[in-house]
């Protein structure tokens, strides 16, 4: 990990990390993949089996009351599998372009800045 050094006046500081770049996603791919996989599996558990998820929260002491956790997870309308990630990126890219925050078209952002291979692989894994 690089440490930021004080920059001379008028020069740019040295970057402290590479987060957000495609190179960083491939260089530490295993840890990023396992973290994303764990998050997606946990959201699937909460959406499909709220009683089991609430019991695990209560057993680990993360919530004092099982019934509150169960009610919250049961009423949760979040269904990740019903949403298309590409449509979501397209929607928000259009909004950001409308207000002038970005100049690229949504198609260019999707073509240049997205890689759905991991997500498609994970979807097929979770179906099994």
**pLDDT of amino acid 79:** 65
Three-class SS state of 5: coil
Give the separation between CA 4 and CA 11, rounded to whole angstroms. 13
From 16-20, 29-33, 50-54, 95-99, the region with the lowest mean pLDDT = 16-20
Stronger pLDDT, 7 or 90, i.e. the higher one: 90
**Segments making up each domain of the chain, as ranges:** 26-81, 83-128
Stronger pLDDT, 4 or 105, i.e. the higher one: 105
Helix extents (H) in 10-105: 22-27, 29-48, 50-59, 66-74, 85-98
Give the separation between CA 109 and CA 63, rounded to whole angstroms. 41
**pLDDT of amino acid 6:** 44
The pLDDT tens digits for 24-52 are 555 656 677 788 888 888 888 888 899 99
99-105 mean pLDDT: 92
**pLDDT of amino acid 88:** 87
């Amino acid at each position: 990990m690089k440490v930021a050094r004080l920059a001379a006046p008028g020069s740019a500081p040295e970057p402290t990390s590479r987060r957000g770049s495609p190179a960083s996603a491939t260089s530490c791919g295993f840890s990023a993949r396992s973290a994303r996989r764990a998050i997606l599996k946990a959201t699937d558990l909460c959406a499909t089996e709220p009683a089991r998820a609430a019991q695990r929260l209560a057993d680990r002491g993360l919530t004092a009351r099982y019934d509150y956790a169960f009610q919250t997870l049961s009423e949760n309308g979040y269904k990740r599998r019903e949403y298309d990630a590409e449509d979501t990126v397209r929607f928000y890219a259009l909004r950001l372009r409308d207000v002038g925050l970005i100049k690229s078209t949504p198609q260019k952002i999707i073509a240049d800045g997205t890689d759905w291979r991991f997500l498609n692989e994970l979807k097929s894994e979770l179906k099994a």
